[in-house]
């Protein structure tokens, strides 16, 4: 299949192999791994990608760092390329023997208590389309970088070009050292934490000092880059933290005690996707996520 521009011969146009090479590099973030996935040599993949960029007249991959990343144009092109390849495969494979995985990102705690029901129900309904749950330490769980097709996110998201839907809200909990004095309390308030060092995950977390009223904001903070470091700092007694209730079950830690935080506003849990063409199974994911939440709310 050749997708040449008007006036160009098929031999000089773009073929599906160009799109497959781009998608492999975009997924792997590395030409060597992309080549192994495609069973090609690294120079062949590099030449194919360069030919695609020359044809389009845009740079799709930022090669300035060791870990290759999509440019903004590459992010926009990825969905179009993936849709074109999927349509091509479907035309040649009407029996549905080849399938395009749906990548669902999250930064922490996934879909909370609904994670397992969502994954199991998806497997029952759509076994031909693998649902890959990927943890990516990023505020949008890799969505704006084109690393996933959709993402489960917490808190307000202001990234442009995203469509979001609030699926449910979670209460907040305080996370304190299991052997500290605050662990002896059955519940806590924001003012109970104000005199402590507050550990903030500034990469993918939702908590900032703005959560506290202006008259009682913490004076000391410790910043970390991911949930694992956040838990380690709290367990070591270096500070306290605030998170969503699902963290209690999704991230248990012997050195951390979770306690209800009675006066903090709840955290919205969102399903986010890019505004534009995307994975053909995205509507099914949105509908199933709603169904799983509503079933639980209805006692089912």
The answer as to whether 125 is a domain residue is yes
Which pairs count as long-range contacts for 30-34, CB under 8 Å and 24+ apart, including other chains? 30/67, 30/68, 31/68
Find the mean pLDDT for residues 104-120: 94
Phi, psi of 175 (to 5 degrees): -115, 120
pLDDT computed for residue 299 by the predictor: 54
pLDDT computed for residue 2 by the predictor: 41
281 and 159 within one domain: yes
245 and 209 within one domain: yes
pLDDT in tens, 194-227: 999 999 999 888 999 999 999 999 989 999 989 9
144 and 111 within one domain: yes
Identify the band that residue 153 occupies on the pLDDT scale cut at 50, 70 and 90. very high
The answer as to whether 127 is a domain residue is yes
pLDDT computed for residue 296 by the predictor: 76
Block residue for tokens 């910043």: 223
Integer Cα distance of 226 and 159 in angstroms: 20
Where residue 217 sits, what CATH number does that domain have? 3.40.190.10
280 and 131 within one domain: yes
Nearest to 154, CA basis, from 235, 245, 221, 228: 245
Integer Cα distance of 142 and 206 in angstroms: 16
Last residue of a domain, one of 92, 117, 132: 92
Identify the band that residue 9 occupies on the pLDDT scale cut at 50, 70 and 90. very low
183 and 249 within one domain: yes
In terms of residue numbers, what domain contains 127? Answer: 102-169+268-297
Question: Helix 282-297 vs helix 115-125: angle between axes, to the nearest 10 degrees?
Answer: 130
* Whole-number percent of the chain with pLDDT over 70: 91
The answer as to whether 252 is a domain residue is yes
Identify the band that residue 137 occupies on the pLDDT scale cut at 50, 70 and 90. confident
Instruction: Give Cα 42 distance to the centre of its chain.
Output: 28
pLDDT in tens, 269-288: 999 998 877 788 999 999 99
DSSP 8-state assignment for residue 158: -
pLDDT computed for residue 257 by the predictor: 98
The answer as to whether 46 is a domain residue is yes
């Amino acid at each position: 299949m050749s997708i040449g521009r008007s006036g160009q011969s098929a031999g000089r146009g773009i073929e599906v192999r160009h799109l497959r090479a781009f998608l492999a590099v975009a997924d792997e973030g590395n030409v060597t791994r992309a080549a192994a996935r495609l069973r090609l040599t690294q120079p062949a993949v590099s030449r194919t990608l360069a030919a695609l960029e020359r044809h389009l007249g845009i740079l799709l991959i930022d090669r300035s760092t060791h870990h290759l990343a999509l440019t903004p144009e590459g992010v926009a092109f990825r969905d179009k390329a993936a849709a074109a390849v999927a349509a091509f495969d479907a035309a040649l494979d009407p029996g549905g023997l080849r399938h395009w995985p749906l990548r669902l990102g999250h930064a922490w705690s996934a879909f909370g208590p609904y994670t397992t029901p969502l994954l199991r129900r998806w497997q029952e309904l759509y076994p031909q389309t693998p649902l890959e749950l990927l943890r990516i330490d990023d505020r949008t769980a890799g969505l704006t970088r084109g690393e996933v097709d959709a993402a489960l996110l917490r808190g307000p998201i202001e990234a442009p070009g995203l469509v979001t839907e609030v699926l449910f809200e979670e209460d907040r909990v305080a996370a304190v050292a299991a052997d500290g004095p605050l662990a002896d309390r059955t519940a806590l308030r924001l003012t109970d934490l104000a005199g402590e060092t507050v550990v903030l995950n500034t990469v993918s977390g939702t908590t900032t000092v703005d959560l506290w009223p202006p008259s009682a904001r913490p004076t000391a903070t410790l910043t970390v880059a991911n949930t694992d470091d956040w838990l380690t700092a709290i367990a070591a007694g270096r500070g306290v933290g605030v998170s969503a209730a699902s963290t209690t079950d999704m991230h248990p830690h012997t050195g951390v005690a979770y306690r209800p935080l009675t006066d903090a506003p709840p955290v919205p849990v969102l399903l986010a996707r890019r505004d534009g063409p995307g994975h053909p199974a995205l509507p099914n994911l949105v509908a199933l996520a709603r169904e799983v939440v509503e079933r639980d709310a209805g006692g089912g």
